[in-house]
Structure 1
Amino acid sequence: MEHRFADCTLDDARLTLTRGGNAVAVEPKVFDLIHLLVRNAGNLVTREQMVDEIWGGRIVSESAISACIAAARKAVGDTGKAQAVIRTVARRGLMLVAEVSAEAAGPASVAVPAFPEAEQRIRYCRSEDGHAIAYAVSGEGPPVLRFGPTSLQDLELEWALGLHRSWVSSMALHARLLRFDTVGSGQSERILRDVDYEVEARDAAAVADAAGFNRFAAVSYSGGCLPALTFAAHSPERLTRLAIVGGFVEGRSRRSAESAPDALRGLIAEGWARPESVFARAFATAYFPDGPAEETREVLRMTQSAAPPEMMLRTRDASNTASVAHLLGQVRCPVLILHARDDAVHPLSQAQQLAAGIPGAELVVLETANHVPLHGSPCWESYNRTLAEFLTG
């Protein structure tokens, strides 16, 4: 069914939204909110209804709800001040006040991007030492490979959890996104393997080969910058551009001869195996002090399930002593570095060293204390837009 209101058309069969004839990229929960309001046009939609339908009745932070409402208003060309389409009913909920007409969907009149498939398809390839690596591809467009933090990703949970599914859906509107779990974690073969960033870079090449990616862009998160920069230096002919989010040049034990004991390693050792333990929550808070709380819990749930404590400790020890300073001058592709201004895990000075050492690299400073921006953060939309525009050229 096509629902027409203001200058927008929402197609609930194709899961698309257009405004003025142009496709509008919206995340799944934002689309669901607009759809809920359209189906109840002229009637009050309470916060309880929103939580029940969009978040499945789960506990949701006010900041997450507010961020979803703000994104919905922006998508339909409205503002919190004008409220010409979506009106706030104080202390009660929302109402879509624009006139709505509905008709059966006809042939698509404009080219609109599709969301990722309703079901994720996980495939496997083999590393050079014979271990199974799980990977998945979503969306259409320029090819983009993601280097996630070593041992902290799980394709299955990432697809199931709202925060991560939203990011995958958002990126897949613009690109053909290739994600994989490192050996020892997630849906890949669960073995205790020594952490070696050159081996991980070759694993990424094996995944790219299996997915049919010849030349592609890449994005890395946190410690994922270590194999990503190794790949960029050793395989310059394959990488078209590289985005680095929350990256670093040197691990914490290399930054100062007088480094204090690693408190985060202690939190992993004490509480990683116990879901929702106070130690695990403290670890998550150190990475995401700005929240929102619900999204932080989702990150913690996924990362605790992604790898056992023994693998996490190996990963932590390897990153603490790592250095990619010798590789920076060898990177030849365009590089964009995005880093939180108040990141306490890897300080902004590390991002500045990356930008100074990589020829032609650019640095964007994000106004947050979260190590990586989370959905619901004030900088979320601009961060996502900047990242997508860079990766797709």
Structure 2
Amino acid sequence: MDHVFADCTLDDSRLTLTRGGAPFAVEPKVFDLIHLLVRHAGDLVTRERMIEEVWGGRIVSDSAISACIASARKAVGDDGKTQKVIRTIARRGLMLVAPVRGAGFTDTAPRLQGDIQETQRIRFAATSDGHRIAYSMTGSGPAVVRFTPNMTNDLEAEWHIPTKRRMIDAISRQNLLIRSDTLGSGQSDRRVAALDFDSQADHICRVLDAAGIDRTAVLSESGGVLAAIHLAARHPDRVTKLAIIGGYADGPNRRAASRLVDPIRTSIDAGWDQSHGGFLMGWVSSYCPEGPFDDLRAITEMARQATSKETILAIRDRLNAASVVPLLPGVQCPTLLLHARHDAVHPLEEAQKLAAGIPNAELVVFETANHLPLAGHPLWNAYVAALTTFLAE
């Protein structure tokens, strides 16, 4: 049977491995390790299982296991730094994260092993002016706090959307993930006292205090990058690293001062009060034109119910006019940016501005037009692997 992944084909009937169409000679144990990982693609393969199946349960040294893993990575065109094919799960084992095609394989996205948290507990932190910020914690390990696009999230709703849940599970597999709803949306207090990004950063500090967390990594998506950079620049003692997906340095109005119409704002204004309306589907689809579209309607409806039209339009105006360029030199933590090459909402140039302005930041570009990753897209596993590898380092 052929197992096709990355640019490799593993034939377990002929015991051969080809890469880039050419045969690649590997030692038997290296082949057995790759075969084991391929057969369990997307699942955690523990060290104990490797010893049992590759070495027949015999006593084997750590150096021999490490050498075999290094040879397996080399054979499939991977290495211990990028881990695009074989990812190390700290203190647990390995996972083959590249999509696999072949008989019997229908879904090779990473899945949470062991105890899957089927329910979540939503808690509340108080702001200095008496508002309630909703937050939830899942998983265990080094802390990660997430900034979502402003005003479009709801902790309870996203728990039941497959794309959202699979990203939550992927991070919670190795980290303590703290998610919160921005003040004015979701499960947080809908009364909005301020819409500025410094206040949002302070609210996250309140959440961290309530959760008993001093220092954390920060994950930000799209418009959430603005508050995340305010947090990293103004509270460097609390931020260990920063991951940015689909971020930008200057809002659309600053990129094009002559812009008279914001088509996304127009769609929001026309469709916010229409349940399952086409205007809002057009808005969300413009962010992810390549689909898959299974979850987009649920994401659209979550956003519509997360806040009022007045609030979403007010934050949209603030996002359009914002700039974090002056703050970028103050971000001193390790920073990783993931961005789509053909993003029509926030072009690649914006991610390049962030990467150039933040000291020692790294940019990874994906060949897609989707602003944010969606489960089922061919690049989903690559997005998840790049993100979780950075957060686990």
User: Smaller-chain TM-score range?
Assistant: 0.7 to 0.9
- In the alignment, does 2:241 pair up with 1:241? yes
- Evaluate the alpha carbon distance shift between residue 114 and residue 205 of structure 1 in structure 2; reply closer, same or farther with a 3 A threshold: farther
TM-superposed CA distance for 1:114, in Å, is: 3.7
| Structure 2 match to 1:326 | 326
Looking at structure 2, the residues matched to 78 and 207 of structure 1 have their Cα atoms a distance apart, in angstroms, of 36
The CA deviation string for residues 312-338 of structure 1, in whole angstroms up to 9 with x for no partner, is 101100100001011001111011011
Give unmatched runs, 5+ long, in structure 2: 1-34, 51-94
Q: Work out the CA distance in 1 between the residues paired with 2:99 and 2:340.
A: 29
326 and 87 in structure 1: CA distance in 2 versus 1, 3 angstrom threshold:
closer
Amino acid of the structure 2 residue aligned with 1:184 = G
Conserved? CA contact 1:116–1:172, under 8 Å: no
Residue 44 of structure 2 contacts residue 113 of structure 2 at CA under 8 Å; is this kept in 1? no
Distance 1:373 1:354 in 2: 19
Q: Where do 1:215-230 residues align within 5 Å? A: 215-230=215-230
Structure 1 match to 2:4: none
Question: Which residue matches 1:293?
Answer: 293
Give the Cα–Cα distance (whole angstroms) in 2 for the partners of residues 337 and 115 of structure 1. 31
Kindly state the Cα deviation for residue 194 of structure 1 after the two structures are TM-superposed. Answer: 3.3
| Matched ranges for 1:230-309 at <5 A | 230-309=230-309
Distance 1:185 1:162, change over 3 A: same
Aligned 8 A contact 1:116 1:138 in 2? no
One-letter amino acid of the structure 2 residue matched with residue 356 of structure 1? A
Which of structure 1's runs of 4+ aligned residues deviate more than 6 A? 74-78
Q: How far did residue 131 of structure 1 move?
A: 0.3
Distance 1:316 1:77, change over 3 A: closer
Cα RMSD (Å): 2.4
Residues 1:76 and 1:290: Cα distance change in structure 2 (over 3 Å): closer
Q: 1:266 to 1:241 in 2, by over 3 A?
A: same
Alpha-carbon separation, structure 2, partners of 1:368 and 1:130: 43
Question: Residue 318 of structure 1 aligns to which amino acid in structure 2?
Answer: R
* Distance (whole Å) between structure 2 residues aligned to residue 366 and residue 76 of structure 1: 16
What is the CA distance between 1:310 and its match in structure 2?
A: 1.0
Residue correspondence of structure 1 range 77-92 to structure 2 within 5 A: 79-81=100-102, 83=103, 86=104
Q: Distance in 2 between matches of 1:178 and 1:170?
A: 13
Q: Which amino acid aligns with 1:209?
A: D
Instruction: Read off the aligned partner of 2:325 and give its amino acid letter.
Output: A
In structure 2, distance between residues paired with 1:115 and 1:357 = 41
1:171-182 equivalent positions in 2, closer than 5 A = 171-182=171-182
- For residues 17-96 of structure 1, the aligned pairs below 5 Å read 18=45, 21=48, 79-81=100-102, 83=103, 86=104
Opposite residue 101 of structure 2, the aligned amino acid is G
Could you list the runs of 5+ residues in structure 1 that have no partner in the other structure? 1-5, 11-15, 24-73, 89-93, 95-111
SS in structure 2 opposite 1:135?
strand
Native 8 Å contact 1:146 1:218 kept in 2: yes
Q: Does 1:145 align with 2:121?
A: no
Distance in 1 (CA, whole Å) between partners of 2:48 and 2:306 is 42
* Aligned equivalents of 1:114, 1:87: Cα separation in 2: 21
Structure 2 counterpart SS, 1:152: coil
| Structure 1 residues 173 and 261: alpha-carbon distance in aligned structure 2, compared to 1, 3 A threshold | same
- Number of aligned positions between the proteins: 307
Distance 1:87 1:126 in 2: 47
- Cα distance in 2 for residues equivalent to 1:182 and 1:77: 34
Q: How far apart, in 2, do the equivalents of 1:87 and 1:222 lie?
A: 32
Distance in 1, matches of 2:305 and 2:343, equals 24
Query: Partner of 1:191 in structure 2?
Result: 191
Q: State, as a whole percentage, how many aligned pairs show the same letter.
A: 42
Aligned-residue offset at 1:244: 0.7
- Relative to structure 1, is the Cα distance of residues 259 and 173 closer, same or farther in structure 2, using a 3 angstrom cutoff? same
Scaled by the length of structure 1, the TM-score of the pair is 0.74
CA distance in 2, matches of 1:7, 1:245: 32
CA distance in 1, matches of 2:99, 2:271: 45
Q: Secondary structure at the match of 1:202?
A: helix
Structure 1 residues 122-161: aligned runs within 5 Å:
122-161=122-161
Deviation per CA, 1:336-357: give whole Å up to 9, x if none: 0111111111110000000011
- Aligned partners of 1:331 and 1:183: how far apart in 2? 24
Q: Could you tell which deviates more after superposition, 132-141 or 254-263? A: 254-263
C-alpha distance in structure 2 between counterparts of 1:346 and 1:87, whole Å = 35
Query: How far apart, in 2, do the equivalents of 1:7 and 1:227 lie?
Result: 43
Q: How far 1:77 moved relative to its partner?
A: 10
Provide the secondary structure at the position in 2 that maps to 1:237: helix
Would you say 1:356 and 2:324 are equivalent positions? no
Distance in 2 separating the partners of 1:77 and 1:354? 28
Distance in 2 (CA, whole Å) between partners of 1:263 and 1:276 is 19
CA shift for structure 1 position 188:
0.5
Rounded to whole Å, the distance in 1 between the matches of 2:315 and 2:260 is: 19
In 1: Cα distance, 2:277 partner to 2:177 partner: 33
| 1:87 to partner: Cα distance | 6.9
- Aligned amino acid, residue 80 of structure 1: R
Distance in structure 1 (CA, Å) of the matches to 2:253 and 2:352 = 18
Q: Letter of the 2:215 partner, please give it.
A: R
Residues 125-176 of structure 1: CA deviation (Å, up to 9, x unaligned): 1011110010000001111000111101100001122221111111110110
Question: Which has the larger displacement, 134-143 or 273-282?
Answer: 273-282
Deviation at 1:78, TM superposition (A): 9.8
